[in-house]
Structure 1
Amino acid sequence: MTTLTGAPDRQRLRDSLRGDIVEPGDPDYDEARKVYNAMIDKRPAIVVRAVDAGDVMATVDFARERGLPLAVRGGSHGVAGYGTCDDGVVLDLGRMRGTRVDPETRTARVEGGCTWADVNHATHAFGLATTGGVVSSTGVGGLTTGGGMGYLARRCGLACDNLLSVDLVTADGSFLTCTEEQNADLMWAVRGGGGNFGVVTSFVYRLHPIADILGGPTFYPLDGEVIRRYREMIADSDGRLGALFAVALGPPLPFLPERWHGRPICGVIACWSGPEEQDDEIRTRLSGLGPVLGQMVERMPYPVINTLFDELLPAGLFHYWKGTFSRGLPDGAIDAYIDYGASTPSLESATVVFPLDGAVQRVGPQDTAFAYRDVDYATALSGTLTTREDCEAQRDWVRGFYDALLPHSAEGGYVNFFDGDDQNLVRSNYRANYDRLTQIKRRHDPGNLFRLNHNIAP
């Protein structure tokens, strides 16, 4: 492996960019090297803040020609911290945040550095939406290329299911437009295959006529019967009801009695995108899951539902995550939710269950790289603390919880919930699609330039 050769080398890169670069010693270097998960503390040789596809192409060429590690950063939310690296090049897309909505075709072209807040703001102006993340500062790139779960998944499918085309810079510096008809192998691969195949400089999404929704949390005591009733509610409801289940400590919210603040509880965060005249019926169903400790389920613009966790989960917290898939919610898994939920280590930590039925299951397991179309739920186990020492101390809680769920889980797990020590699960995550992904990787990135990810090796 070669390295940067000094100031002339950096200057040649700088001369090829419209954006700028940040290096060790620059006043904003420490800020430029940060990612969302504060557990990740790396020192890149250079950070390129790109402003267009030309900058991306120049940076990819620069890293490849010098044999440097290349980290690609969008929203930087990836818990494993692959948006940065030691002694290599960070390609930061954060200034590429343009969006353009076409209300006639119900599509949006979104640059690779956008967050879901950017997308939701732009599309809501036209009464449209698509499946995105549940924290508004999440980047579109990592979420979509990993699959993309969210409140609208049961109605609209995953984010990757709504992806119509991408502009992609590949490892040889080529700029390719990928659709079902053009560079179709890459189009298939980026819909779930992560950042293994290139840098997506723009995405085109299918949009849906969704403007206002009924949304918000309902909290209950931590009780297995509540979870079993939730399981029944999901099975009996149509895809217009998005409803995440959570086990957490009671947040200090005004509609939750103070005696429940900081105590283990469970809750459903609802997102009903059906007609307003059925709102009372939805509230009644939610209230029937168990004794209601607090509820705030109101009509709101769709973008608001994606901001409910923003204040609780700002950048700079310390995270350690695991994730599983399951068919149904087996009673054994529910027992684990109760047992481990009772010792949830902090207000910021949570167990979040995403339903994956409805539109998600109407896509075949080999239609996209996202292979798990026969599971009903994905569970995210988040150990999130305010100090490094506390996060390290709680890893055993996350690992023990994960081990308790394994007998009730499908093999593998969702790549966007994998931490850095989960590389051994990559093959099982892609199941029968793994060999095809390896062939595409070998064709387009034989040197594995794009390896700082949950890696599919060529």
Structure 2
Amino acid sequence: MTAPHGRAALSIGELTDEQYGQVIGPGDADYETARTVYAGDVDRRPAVILRPRNAAQVASVVRLAQETGLQLAVRSGGHSGAGHGVCEGGIVLDLTNMRALEIDVEARTAWAETGISAGEYTEAAAEHGLVTGFGDSTMVGVGGITLGGGIGFLARKHGMTIDDLLAAEIVTADGELLLVDEHNHPDLFWAIRGGGGNFGVATRFKFRLHELNGVYGGMMVLPVTPEVLEAFIAEAEAAPEELSTIVNVWTAPPFPFVPKEYHGKPIILAMMCYAGPSEAGEEVIGRFRAIAPPLADMVQAMPYPGMFPPADPLLRPISAARNIFIDRVDRATAETIVERVVASSAIVAGAQLRVLGGALARVPSDATAFAHRQSKIMAHLSAIYANQADVDLHETWVEEFAAALRQSDSGSYGNFVVNAEQEQIREALYPGATGERLAQIKAKYDPTNLFCSNHNILPATS
């Protein structure tokens, strides 16, 4: 492949397993699978996919990208909605082969390589009655979800994933491996907790583990009206911080546990997770059951990994999505949500609402690069559809939906943002002093912006 002026050309045949790990080129049998990511509308063909097995090989891949001038994409689990884990004509650094996990039960810490999935980590920790909170899917890579923040089933009880991040090993743009924590390169440690993959390749994370022998949780389905939705969110806000909820207002798919007369009609499909004694959890969940007779109620005592339904590795949805924070779900907001969901012609259209607060909000807003600690409710609006020719229709629907819901909070959660221009990155993801500080750190550790396949933070200029 011809290199940019002044750069070395990329010759795939000269790339060795010893130096770079597994080498996958366009002519290899597993190339098509290896270049595929979760987002169904992302179809990019990299020049080469490299799967290193250790940090030294990661550093070699980073140096190769510098030498050739080719775009570098870093992939952990491939679940970025924007498809940041793959690039067109460039180099993909795929961490798939770096999945080692070392759990120190006595110290309640774990070192995890960043190619391991959240599900693999969670299952292994649960064998010891321990947990680190990630998101709500088993298939996401630990690397991506952590760098973006990590809001999941334990966010109100234990905070975000980054609040349990104790240290990291990072390969920077110059190919150097750094140990970062509160004492070593504290500026970089601050930046990677919410700043995404802008500053290097995270190869290992050290996490705090919490005792958790089980939860009272699962799925609850209710018919939805504006009154029901308003009451449901109010209960979620009033609940003790042991309870985290993910409230999906959807047009019901033909799930076997949803009565047929509700298929295609709006419902609440809520995931409830009470991280405490079952007796107390049952009492709290009872308040939600009293709002309206559930159409399905699977909330029960279970091991924490039971919160994660089986995932389909072949699922590649095409969707239009917007992510915003809102202040409240009052009657008018609830009416807007139900009306807009019903109006969509998508296969599945909905609003996912997550009440925040608790431990997440007790961390100072400037303690990490996640600047939205005081946001009240996260609203993720999406339309899943089949025909890419309908993209404008569904993008218009979701854009107008977001505009109708927007209140005083102008922020967004980077891990759920699909496409962001520089204006949104600086105003919604990393506003004010947070963005300015990140740009300075970017200039220090990645002045040429090698790590740009992300919600990109541009290096500050003097």
The interval holding the TM-score normalised by the smaller chain is over 0.9
Match of 1:252? 254
- TM (norm. structure 1) is 0.94
Cα distance in 2 for partners of 1:423, 1:386 equals 29
- Name 2:72's counterpart in structure 1: 70
Match of 2:436 in 1: 435
Partner amino acid for 2:363?
V
Could you tell me which amino acid in structure 1 is paired with residue 151 of structure 2?
A: M
What is the alpha-carbon distance in structure 1 between the residues aligned to residue 391 and residue 349 of structure 2?
Answer: 10
In the superposition, relative to structure 1, how do residues 35 and 457 fare at CA in structure 2: closer, same or farther (>3 Å)? same
Cα distance in structure 2, aligned partners of 1:348 and 1:138? 21
Shift of 1:332: 4.3
Q: Is the 8 A contact 2:230 2:330 kept in 1?
A: no
Which is further off, 345-354 or 294-303? 345-354
Cα distance in 2, alignment partners of residues 316 and 173 from structure 1: 33
Shift of 1:251: 3.6
Partner residue in 2 for 1:456: 457
Contact kept, 8 Å, 1:412 with 1:426, in 2: the verdict is no
1:51 matched residue in structure 2:
53
Q: Does 1:334 align with 2:334?
A: yes
How many residue pairs were aligned?
454
| Alpha-carbon separation, structure 2, partners of 1:362 and 1:450 | 31
> Which letter does structure 1 place at the counterpart of 2:413?
Y
Instruction: Give the alignment of 1:193-208 within 5 angstroms.
Output: 193-208=195-210
Deviations 1:218-247 (A, max 9, x none): 222221112221232123211111111111
- CA distance in 2 between counterparts of 1:143 and 1:339 reads 32
Cα distance, 1:148 vs. partner?
0.7
Further displaced range: 342-351 or 93-102? 342-351
Find the aligned partners of 1:167 and 1:107 in 2 and give their Cα distance: 15
Distance 2:56 2:337 in 1: 48
Name the structure 2 match of 1:415.
Answer: 414
The code of the aligned residue for 2:37 comes to V
For the residues of structure 2 that align with 1:5 and 1:457, how far apart are their CA atoms?
Answer: 25
SS at match of 1:394: helix
Separation in structure 2 between the aligned mates of residue 283 and residue 338 of structure 1, nearest angstrom: 23
Q: Give the alignment of 1:153-168 within 5 angstroms.
A: 153-168=155-170
**Rounded Cα–Cα distance in structure 1 between residues aligned with 2:29 and 2:435:** 43
Shift of 1:182: 0.7
Consecutive unaligned residues of structure 1, counting only runs of 5 or more, are: none
CA displacement at 1:86 relative to structure 2 = 0.8
The question of whether the paired residues in 1 share the 8 Å contact of 2:181 and 2:189 is answered with yes
Matched, 1:447 2:439: no
The within-5 A match list for 1:343-354 is: 343-346=343-346, 348-354=348-354
State which of 88, 91, 94 in structure 2 corresponds to 1:89: 91
Which letter maps to 2:42?
I
Q: 1:417 to 1:106 in 2, by over 3 A?
A: same
Q: Which residue of 2 aligns with 1:103?
A: 105
- Asked whether the equivalents of residues 156 and 358 of structure 2 are also in contact (C-alpha less than 8 Å), the reply is yes
The superposition leaves residues 11-63 of structure 1 with CA deviations (integer Å, 9 ceiling, x where unpaired) of 44325526211112222211111111120101111110121111210000000
Letter in 2 for 1:305: M
CA distance in 1, matches of 2:446, 2:368: 19
Check the 8 A contact 2:116/2:142 in 1, yes or no.
Answer: yes
SS of equivalent to 1:397: helix
The one-letter amino acid paired with 2:240 is D
Structure 2 unmatched ranges of 5 or more: none
1:16-415 map, 5 Å: 16-17=18-19, 19-307=21-309, 310-311=311-312, 314-346=314-346, 348-391=348-391, 393-406=393-406, 408-415=407-414
Task: Return closer, same or farther for 1:437/1:384 CA change in 2, 3 Å cut-off.
Answer: same
Q: Distance in 1 between matches of 2:22 and 2:363?
A: 41
8 A contact 1:149–1:354 mirrored in 2: no
User: What is the Cα deviation at residue 278 of structure 1?
Assistant: 2.2
Q: Structure 1 residues 219 and 5 mapped into 2: Cα distance closer, same or farther (>3 Å)?
A: same
Give the alignment's TM-score, normalised by structure 2. 0.93
Residues 250 and 347 of structure 1 are in contact (CA less than 8 Å); yes or no, is this contact kept in structure 2? no
Q: Which segment drifts farther, 68-77 or 28-37?
A: 28-37
Q: Distance in 2 between matches of 1:184 and 1:378?
A: 29
CA distance in 2, matches of 1:198, 1:423: 20
Q: What's the offset of the Cα at 1:280?
A: 3.0
- Contact 1:79 1:320 (C-alpha < 8 Å) held by counterparts: no
Q: Structure 1 residues 351, 440: CA separation in 2 closer, same or farther (over 3 Å shift)?
A: same
Q: Is the 8 A contact 1:264 1:344 kept in 2?
A: no
SS in 2 for 1:17: helix
In structure 2, what is the Cα distance between the partners aligned to 1:110 and 1:207? 12
C-alpha distance in structure 1 between counterparts of 2:28 and 2:8, whole Å: 18
Q: Describe the shift of the 1:446–1:6 C-alpha distance in structure 2 as closer, same or farther (beyond 3 A).
A: closer
User: What percent identity do the matched residue pairs reach?
Assistant: 37
Distance 1:424 1:224 in 2: 34
Contact 2:420 2:455 in 1 (8 A): no
Q: In 2, Cα distance between the equivalents of 1:14 and 1:376?
A: 50
| 1:159 Cα offset (Å) | 0.7
Q: Which amino acid aligns with 2:185?
A: N
**Higher mean C-alpha deviation, range 233-242 or range 16-25:** 16-25
Q: Supply the AA of the counterpart residue of 1:365.
A: S
Between the aligned partners of 2:264 and 2:126, the Cα distance in structure 1 is 35
Tell me how far apart the structure 1 counterparts of residues 392 and 23 of structure 2 sit (CA, whole Å).
33
Judged with a 3 Å threshold, the aligned counterparts in structure 2 of structure 1 residues 268 and 231 are, in CA distance, closer, same or farther, namely same
**Alignment match, 1:425:** 424
Question: 1-side partners of 2:314 and 2:133: how far apart?
Answer: 21
8 Å contact from structure 1 (residues 151, 271) kept in 2? yes
- Shift of residue 392, structure 1, vs aligned partner: 5.2
Distance 2:185 2:372 in 1: 24
Q: CA RMSD in A?
A: 2.0
Specify the SS of the correspondent of 1:24.
coil
* Secondary structure in structure 1 of the residue aligned to 2:112: strand
- Alpha-carbon deviations, 1:263-284, whole Å to 9, x = none? 2112321011111222431331
Contact in 2 for aligned 1:19/1:48 (Cα 8 Å): yes
